[in-house]
Structure 1
Amino acid sequence: MAQFTPAFLDLVLERSDLVHLIDARVPLKKKGKDYWACCPFHQEKTPSFSVSADKQIYYCFGCHAHGNAIGFLMEYERLSFPEAVTLLAEDAGLALPEEQGKGPAVDTLKPLHQELERAVALYRQALRDNAEARNYLQTRGVLAAAIERFELGFAPAAAQFLTRNLGKSGEDRRLLAAAGLVSTRDDGTVYDRFRERVIFPIRDGRGRLVGLGGRSMDGREPKYLNSPETPIYHKSRVLYGLHQAREGIRRTGKALLVEGYLDVITLHQAGIDNAVAASGTALGNEQLELIFRAAPEIVLCFDGDSAGEQAAWRAVNLAPEHLRQGRLLRVLFLPQGEDPDSLVRGQGSAAFHALLATARPALDVYLEGLQKRHNIVVEDEKAVFLHHARALLQRLADPILKELYEQRVATLCGLRMARHPSPPLHQEPSRPRQRGQPSLLDRALLLLLQVPQAPAWQQVEAALLPFLFASDPAAKNFAQALDILRDTTHLDTHGLLSRIADPDQAAAWYRLAMTPLESTGTSVDEELRQREISDCVARINRRSRAERALFIGRAADQAGLAALSDSEIAELLRHRWRDDENRS
């Protein structure tokens, strides 16, 4: 497992855009400086989930969910801490720290990406030089712009095309094999894996070249040939076209999953640029989660034949754990004998858009398929239907969706079902609202959490703060926040909050950090705000010095002046002199 240092984690958070990350999953609306939505972690009708672009943190004023980009991914996507950090690092283009004793280090993988880039450059030149391959793409309706956008190439028939050009040394030939570009026969001879095929380069979400797909032009089987599993290519974790579809997905808030590489390219040419495809395998859990990370709504597009129905059935059976609040999964069946490529080329993009509007909820498709398998008019088959339906619905991650479909199933089977509203997720006991004005230290903590960069905080006489602990409970929290700030220089709000270990304390601090300062009477003017912080620091210092003097005075009353040091006596006299001067 890679070891993530605090410095690396800070860099990951610095390079991440929390608003964009959350908005891709939970649509946000801007109100004032912050963004708001109904909380994805509990049920509510009025938005109480707030996201700060400045501080790069979120907080729900309803259920107290809180955190930064790492915490959000862990909670929303149900990722482990290393998985969340890795995902954010990849999206930010950051290389991960080297693995300690397990798996290949990042530096050993980079040459494989580079070897694929060199191979693709050769394949692209070979396409320019081969009229037959260009003619094949032309007959399939692939335009020159799409050839460039998707970096299409051609693998000549020669068995050692790559080896001759890229395999001049033993290390070069080792890289060709490790990247999945060549194979070895039993007699030890090496040959190119891709021969006499159109080449479709496959990039991951970060845009790194990880594998290739090759399509025969004469119908020779296998029609499609993909890279084998390699250290950088795992077909269950890759989606073809995702790199090119990022902008279309972001713009529409939807992702369209189709079956073939040419389907993706044809749809992009037609302006439907949010299409992706599975990479040489049936849709799996990792790929489905990968798409949901990019878009809150997915449309699965299948051919309208028995094979398409079977593929849809398998896909829908994967769905329940992925259908968390705010996510939509729909299924679209095309007319018999059509695929997206043939439909768009034959009838135009308008016809495909019209079909997209008919896409249906995945769970509806599942229940209809289940009804085809079991006649619910017959009691024993109805029991089997109920068993399977309830088993799938039990896996649903969204409690509201689960309740709605449980009611649907009960109605289908003529059953009466008691309504038991699902409990809110992560609901914490409500805390009583504090009455009265916040104390000086409450105010100081709020300002410190929101404006930790203010230079005045360095002027707090931290050594005297313990004398305020007994009189003001907020003093301990303020002192702790100040200690964190002093231990690590140049901390911003989310950097300070990320160093809180106690969950209850973290929730309280996130609430303070997300409370609009304007609502607390603080000026929006930066100069006036800095002046208020300086005044707050001065008042804290005066109060803590006074408490220190009272402590010394009590010690003198009990043990006499002889028990005090010279500095303590001088401090006591200075404080009493100030008191006399203030009274006069």
Structure 2
Amino acid sequence: MSLPPNFLEELRLRTPLAALIGRSTKLTRAGRQWKGCCPFHGEKSPSFYVYDDHYHCFGCGAHGDAIAFVMQNQGATFPEAVERLAAEAGLEVPKATPQQARREAKARDLHGVLQAAAEAFQRRLRLPEGRPALDYLLRRGLSEETIRKFGLGWSGGGRGALAADLKGQGIEIRQLCEAGLMREGEGDQPPADLFFNRVMFPIRDRRGRIISFGGRILGDGQPKYVNGPETELFSKRRSLYGLDLAREAAFKGAPVVVAEGYMDVIALHQAGFGAAVAPLGTALTEDQLAELWRLTPEPLLCFDGDAAGMRAAARTAELALALLSPERRLGFVTLPKGDDPDTLIKGGGPRAFQAVLDAAQPLSGVLYDMVASRFPGATPESRAALRHALEEAAGKISDKFLAGEYRRALLDRFFASTRRPAPQPWTGGGRGERGGRGRTPIPAFTPPRPSIDPDQVRGEQARCLLAITAAHPWLLAEIEEALGQLDLPAGLPDRLRQCLLAWHAEAPALEAAALSDHLRKTEPEGWEWLRRFPRMLPAAVAPDALPKLVAEQWWYFFGRFRGEAALLAERQEAERDFAASGDPAAQTRLIRLNELLAAQRRGEIEEEAFGDAAGDPH
């Protein structure tokens, strides 16, 4: 007996095809796809392409999905291939049972019922009773071709119309209820139509099979739009309107646009934006976001410019944060106030909508405004709450390196937006006291500034650099040579450096707790010096600091010691080392030096580097 289609679909979705095929042949990025030499026939130039849900060789014609690849590549039978992939995906293969056979037959039966209903709705649209619905669609600017492409129809104005239409095909009321087209009556009441006096919109799955319908009432009745109920085929939180058509357009490079409703999607397709989809009357769900990311790495979410649109955007952003990765991004499109995609295209044509797409911003660019809108005002309490909320938002991202980049971007903007302008000396504006004229202006009072002690500054820089090293000894594998060559101040800084390097040479594991014990015993004075004034230490000293932040701040202080001339010389040496050895450590060192030089030339100042490492950093 065949396996359930839903199980096989879930298995394919849980099996990243590029990762699976990459075990057998080297793949490289080619735009949004991957390419490599075909594993099924010998070739010198790549003609084998891997897409999200299938592969194709333009040389030998090999084609298929994840299951087909395991069968072709490993000589497995279909059941064996499914068993292997299911084990890797953490799925249990359903056992063949009579009940399962009945469910499969029922699913095929329901698809047939829904297809027959769609054809009946389309016929009724062309009958005299459907003329008001057809006129409505034509007034909305839809062409006859678009109406046919989306399979739009008319439900009929009387109850029982669909059952009467399909009775001649042997379709029973029980089947219409199971398909979500009718509902069982309460008590002694007969079953009732779910859709009547409505323009009908077929909802299809990613393979183009009808799984439910949506309907729009003509006139002023409520609700204006309704969707079919949850059935064995239809789950609202998993489905997207227009998905089957969007897959093909996205494959050809069209931007994936998420609009609000049926008519927006249809208007966008008709205007040339063929990868438009919409959720079904609810906010986007995790399942729908995952489906969008299967189409493109960065879908564009289209929201109205009013308060409701901003709230919807904020909800989606909050949901998406935990799911983001370097390969899973989001773009945000804000429409002019009072417009939706349909009205914008009617007023300005496709160019008007393309203009708002061109102005789309990534989530990283709009997240700050979304969070800041919850904390108006410039009081210390508001600023503290805002900063806490920004860090909390970045912390929701599960990819630690991406979370670090978001944190940096958000706090950079926080400091820039809350930085107070330098006060201007008061000159009196040409008036003396009490508004009199001709008086000598009161000179601005400028308090004397204490002189800066260069030795004290270098000592504090050394303390920061050594404190980061002591808190994260895993760094020593990367920075041992650089630390040994630094011209640190004599005394405690130099003694601590020697102690760290000696410990690294003998330590069985680079653990912070073991290093702390070693420093307490061998260099207690230096240990206390590192712990002094913890609020003045950089954020990288915190035990839970992200590795990227730790490395960046360590090299930042390293760069402060060396200066540009010394860094240039060191970069030349690093380039020679990497060219000679190709060693990953030499490459990392070269990358860090290039980043340091670029940052120094831009004049970057890491304002957030201090004051975050509360308490005992070790």
Partner of 1:122: 120
Letter in 2 for 1:277: A
Partner of 2:139: 139
Partner of 1:149: 149
| Cα separation, 1, equivalents of 2:283 and 2:325 | 22
Structure 1 consecutive aligned stretches of length 4 or more whose deviation exceeds 4 Å: 15-27, 29-32, 34-37, 51-57, 80-87, 95-104, 167-171
Partner of 2:334: 333
Higher relative CO (CA 8 A, sep ≥ 6), structure 1 or 2? 1
Give the drift of 1:132. 1.2
Give the drift of 1:422. 7.4
Give the drift of 1:243. 0.4
| Cα separation, 1, equivalents of 2:19 and 2:281 | 34
In the alignment, does 2:165 pair up with 1:165?
yes
Which of the residues 534, 544, 548 maps onto 1:421?
Answer: 548
* Inter-CA distance 266–367: structure 2 relative to 1 (3 Å threshold): same
Letter in 1 for 2:231: T
SS at match of 1:421: helix
| Cα separation, 2, equivalents of 1:387 and 1:414 | 13
| Cα separation, 1, equivalents of 2:120 and 2:308 | 36
For 1:24-43, list aligned pairs within 5 A. Answer: 27-28=33-34, 33-34=45-46
| Cα separation, 2, equivalents of 1:101 and 1:36 | 41
- Alpha-carbon RMSD across the aligned residues, in angstroms, is 4.3
| Cα separation, 2, equivalents of 1:82 and 1:249 | 28
SS at match of 1:125: helix
Letter in 2 for 1:152: L
* Inter-CA distance 101–397: structure 2 relative to 1 (3 Å threshold): farther
CA deviation vs aligned residue, 1:460-494 (integer Å, no higher than 9, x gap): xxxxxxxxxxxxxxxxxxxxxxxxxxxxxxxxxxx
CA deviation vs aligned residue, 1:47-101 (integer Å, no higher than 9, x gap): xxxx9998999xxxxxxxxx979xxxxxxxxxx96599799xxxxxxx9985797
SS at match of 1:336: coil
| Cα separation, 2, equivalents of 1:12 and 1:98 | 20
SS at match of 2:266: helix
SS at match of 2:299: strand
Letter in 2 for 1:149: K
| Cα separation, 2, equivalents of 1:24 and 1:127 | 45
SS at match of 2:392: helix
Give the drift of 1:397. 3.8
Q: Is the 8 A contact 2:258 2:299 kept in 1?
A: yes
Q: Is the 8 A contact 2:18 2:34 kept in 1?
A: no
Q: Is the 8 A contact 2:255 2:273 kept in 1?
A: no
Letter in 1 for 2:223: P
For 1:416-455, list aligned pairs within 5 A. Answer: 417-418=539-540, 420-421=547-548
Give the drift of 1:346. 1.5
Partner of 2:412: 411
* Inter-CA distance 135–56: structure 2 relative to 1 (3 Å threshold): closer
* Inter-CA distance 253–140: structure 2 relative to 1 (3 Å threshold): closer
Letter in 2 for 1:176: L
SS at match of 2:126: helix
Letter in 1 for 2:202: P
Q: Is the 8 A contact 1:267 1:273 kept in 2?
A: yes
| Cα separation, 1, equivalents of 2:87 and 2:193 | 35
Letter in 2 for 1:28: W
Partner of 2:609: none
* Inter-CA distance 317–30: structure 2 relative to 1 (3 Å threshold): same
SS at match of 2:223: coil
* Inter-CA distance 168–217: structure 2 relative to 1 (3 Å threshold): same
Gaps of 5+ in 1: 38-50, 58-66, 70-79, 88-94, 425-584
Give the drift of 1:417. 4.6
Give the drift of 1:367. 1.6
* Inter-CA distance 400–254: structure 2 relative to 1 (3 Å threshold): farther
Partner of 2:207: 206
SS at match of 1:252: coil
Letter in 1 for 2:111: H
* Inter-CA distance 83–203: structure 2 relative to 1 (3 Å threshold): farther
In the alignment, does 2:195 pair up with 1:189?
no
* Inter-CA distance 12–255: structure 2 relative to 1 (3 Å threshold): closer
Partner of 2:315: 314
Give the drift of 1:198. 0.6
In the alignment, does 2:305 pair up with 1:304?
yes
Q: Is the 8 A contact 1:25 1:327 kept in 2?
A: no
Number of residue pairs aligned between Structure 1 and Structure 2: 383
Q: TM-score, normalised by structure 1?
A: 0.58
CA deviation vs aligned residue, 1:5-63 (integer Å, no higher than 9, x gap): xxx99x989x99759999799543668544899xxxxxxxxxxxxx9998999xxxxxx
* Inter-CA distance 149–379: structure 2 relative to 1 (3 Å threshold): same
Give the drift of 1:177. 0.3
Partner of 1:286: 287
| Cα separation, 2, equivalents of 1:83 and 1:100 | 24
CA deviation vs aligned residue, 1:356-389 (integer Å, no higher than 9, x gap): 0111112332221111111474332233223332
Gaps of 5+ in 2: 22-26, 38-43, 50-55, 72-83, 417-537, 541-545, 552-618
* Inter-CA distance 204–412: structure 2 relative to 1 (3 Å threshold): same
Q: Is the 8 A contact 1:24 1:296 kept in 2?
A: no
Give the drift of 1:326. 2.2
Q: Is the 8 A contact 1:163 1:191 kept in 2?
A: no
Q: Is the 8 A contact 1:98 1:106 kept in 2?
A: no
| Cα separation, 2, equivalents of 1:83 and 1:258 | 37
Partner of 2:107: 109
Q: Is the 8 A contact 1:3 1:99 kept in 2?
A: no
Q: Is the 8 A contact 2:240 2:278 kept in 1?
A: yes
Letter in 2 for 1:203: R
| Cα separation, 2, equivalents of 1:228 and 1:311 | 24
For 1:487-502, list aligned pairs within 5 A. Answer: none
Q: Is the 8 A contact 1:254 1:296 kept in 2?
A: no
Q: Is the 8 A contact 1:292 1:327 kept in 2?
A: yes
* Inter-CA distance 215–394: structure 2 relative to 1 (3 Å threshold): same
For 1:220-231, list aligned pairs within 5 A. Answer: 220-231=221-232
Give the drift of 1:209. 0.8
Give the drift of 1:176. 0.4
| Cα separation, 1, equivalents of 2:295 and 2:550 | 28
Partner of 2:371: 370
CA deviation vs aligned residue, 1:424-450 (integer Å, no higher than 9, x gap): 9xxxxxxxxxxxxxxxxxxxxxxxxxx
Partner of 2:237: 236
Q: Percent identity?
A: 32
Letter in 1 for 2:148: E
Partner of 1:346: 347
Q: TM-score, normalised by structure 2?
A: 0.55
CA deviation vs aligned residue, 1:524-547 (integer Å, no higher than 9, x gap): xxxxxxxxxxxxxxxxxxxxxxxx
Q: Is the 8 A contact 1:229 1:235 kept in 2?
A: yes
Give the drift of 1:134. 1.0
| Cα separation, 1, equivalents of 2:191 and 2:168 | 13
* Inter-CA distance 117–217: structure 2 relative to 1 (3 Å threshold): same
Q: Is the 8 A contact 1:28 1:35 kept in 2?
A: no
Letter in 2 for 1:175: Q
For 1:548-567, list aligned pairs within 5 A. Answer: none
Give the drift of 1:322. 2.5
Q: Is the 8 A contact 1:253 1:297 kept in 2?
A: no
| Cα separation, 1, equivalents of 2:135 and 2:308 | 30
* Inter-CA distance 281–82: structure 2 relative to 1 (3 Å threshold): farther
| Cα separation, 1, equivalents of 2:401 and 2:107 | 44
Q: Is the 8 A contact 2:48 2:57 kept in 1?
A: no
For 1:450-461, list aligned pairs within 5 A. Answer: none
| Cα separation, 1, equivalents of 2:171 and 2:193 | 16
SS at match of 1:328: coil
